[in-house]
């Protein structure tokens, strides 16, 4: 690029009537909670994704609350500075510039792309807490009482929450009762799934499931199941503290473009709670 001034990922002559930039700061939370209710592993895998609809050959500069940048320049952070690990960039980012002064400088591709990814090993408490009590009746049937609690502030909401609770492989005759959302049996996953379209911060709900157990051997299997897993997305919520401090757009024609920044926190590939299936009397809730 330095020799030819050509950019392989962007063509010349792009024109838009309205110039816009959308930035999504996405955090995927991976977590494992053990049978005692303690977090044994938590990490955040983050990504900055962009949609650029900009004319010409614009130069963009993105500033994050990057701890190394503040330390190397002697500046003080307003609020919390974050230390990112395993940072990977799209080929459009000038790596030498980032290594020198931590500035993320680039000529963006046209349209949608992932600008960067990173990892944070910051301890995180479970944002959505799930626990289950199980009661088996002489190998003929099993009952589950599941409680979900949103452990984040009231002003936020988790969307499309899915809670997968494992059951014995040959459980049958499912019956469900939930105080919110809907529940379905997923025999192919040996689990039932509690789906809640919107879970408000600090809210908690209960559901009850009842299954028949055709074989006596499965009474022992009830405690040997895989952990509960949870899927969710919390828009406009940042768990890691990564923040966009600025986004500057410079283009020789001098047009103005309004950047839109959105923060999204969601489950990673492994958000598991082994607090499930503590044997005991499940609270009574009519089926």
Residue 219: per-residue pLDDT: 52
Is 38 part of any domain? yes
218/247 same-domain check:
no
139/103 same-domain check:
no
221/142 same-domain check:
yes
259/189 same-domain check:
no
Residue 226: per-residue pLDDT: 78
242/101 same-domain check:
yes
Tally of domains in the chain: 2
103/38 same-domain check:
yes
177/198 same-domain check:
yes
pLDDT tens profile 11-39: 999 999 999 999 999 999 999 999 888 99
Residue 283: per-residue pLDDT: 45
Residue 182: per-residue pLDDT: 98
Residue 223: per-residue pLDDT: 57
Q: Which residues of 135-161 are buried (b: 16+ CB within 10 A; e: fewer)?
A: ebeeeebbbbbbebebebeeebbbeeb
96/152 same-domain check:
no
120/163 same-domain check:
no
Is 10 part of any domain? no
Is 4 part of any domain? no
Is 53 part of any domain? yes
pTM here is: 0.86
40/168 same-domain check:
no
Residue 139: per-residue pLDDT: 66
Residue 3: per-residue pLDDT: 46
Q: 239 to each of 122, 197, 264, how far by Cα in Å? A: 10, 21, 9
Q: Are 235 and 266 in contact (CB under 8 A)?
A: no
Per-residue pLDDT of the chain (287 residues; tens, 9 = 90+): 444 456 899 999 999 999 999 999 999 999 999 988 899 999 999 999 999 999 999 999 999 987 765 555 555 555 567 888 999 999 999 999 998 888 899 999 999 999 999 999 878 899 999 999 988 887 688 999 999 999 999 999 999 999 999 998 889 999 999 999 999 999 999 999 999 999 999 999 999 999 998 865 555 555 566 799 999 999 999 886 788 999 999 999 999 998 999 999 999 999 999 865 545 544 444 44
- Return the closest-CA partner of residue 94 out of 84, 86, 104: 104
The CATH number covering residue 155 comes to 2.60.40.1170
Is 27 part of any domain? yes
Q: Are 31 and 124 in contact (CB under 8 A)?
A: yes
Is 141 part of any domain? yes
246/205 same-domain check:
no
Residue 60: per-residue pLDDT: 97
Is 286 part of any domain? no
Residue 69: per-residue pLDDT: 59
171/259 same-domain check:
no
Residue 113: per-residue pLDDT: 98
Domain holding 189, by residue range, is 128-234+272-279
Is 15 part of any domain? no
How far is Cα 280 from Cα 222, in angstroms, rounded to an integer? 12
């Amino acid at each position: 690029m330095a020799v030819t001034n050509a950019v392989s990922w962007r063509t010349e002559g792009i024109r838009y009537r309205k110039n816009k930039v959308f930035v999504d700061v996405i955090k995927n939370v991976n977590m494992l909670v053990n049978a005692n209710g303690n977090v044994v592993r938590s990490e955040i895998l983050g990504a900055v994704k962009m949609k650029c609809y900009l004319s010409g050959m614009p130069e963009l500069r993105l500033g994050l609350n990057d701890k190394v940048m503040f330390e190397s320049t002697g500046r003080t952070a307003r609020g919390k500075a974050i230390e990112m690990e395993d940072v990977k960039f799209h080929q459009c980012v000038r790596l030498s510039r980032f290594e020198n002064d931590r500035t993320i400088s680039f000529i963006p591709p046209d349209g949608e792309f992932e600008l960067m990814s990173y990892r944070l090993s910051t301890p995180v408490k479970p944002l959505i807490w799930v626990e289950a009590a199980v009661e088996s009746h002489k190998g003929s049937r099993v009952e589950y009482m599941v409680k979900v609690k949103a452990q984040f502030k009231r002003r936020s909401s988790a969307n499309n929450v899915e809670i997968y609770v494992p059951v014995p492989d040959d459980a049958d005759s499912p019956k469900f009762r939930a105080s919110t959302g809907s529940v379905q049996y997923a025999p192919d996953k040996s689990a039932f799934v509690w789906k809640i379209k919107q879970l408000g911060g600090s809210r908690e709900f209960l559901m009850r499931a009842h299954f028949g157990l055709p074989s006596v051997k499965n009474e022992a299997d009830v405690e040997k199941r895989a952990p509960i897993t949870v899927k969710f997305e919390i828009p406009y919520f940042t768990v890691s503290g990564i923040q966009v401090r600025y986004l500057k757009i410079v283009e020789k024609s001098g047009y103005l473009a309004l950047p839109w920044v959105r923060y999204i926190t969601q489950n990673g590939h492994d958000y598991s709670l082994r607090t499930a299936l503590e044997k005991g009397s499940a609270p009574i809730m009519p089926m």
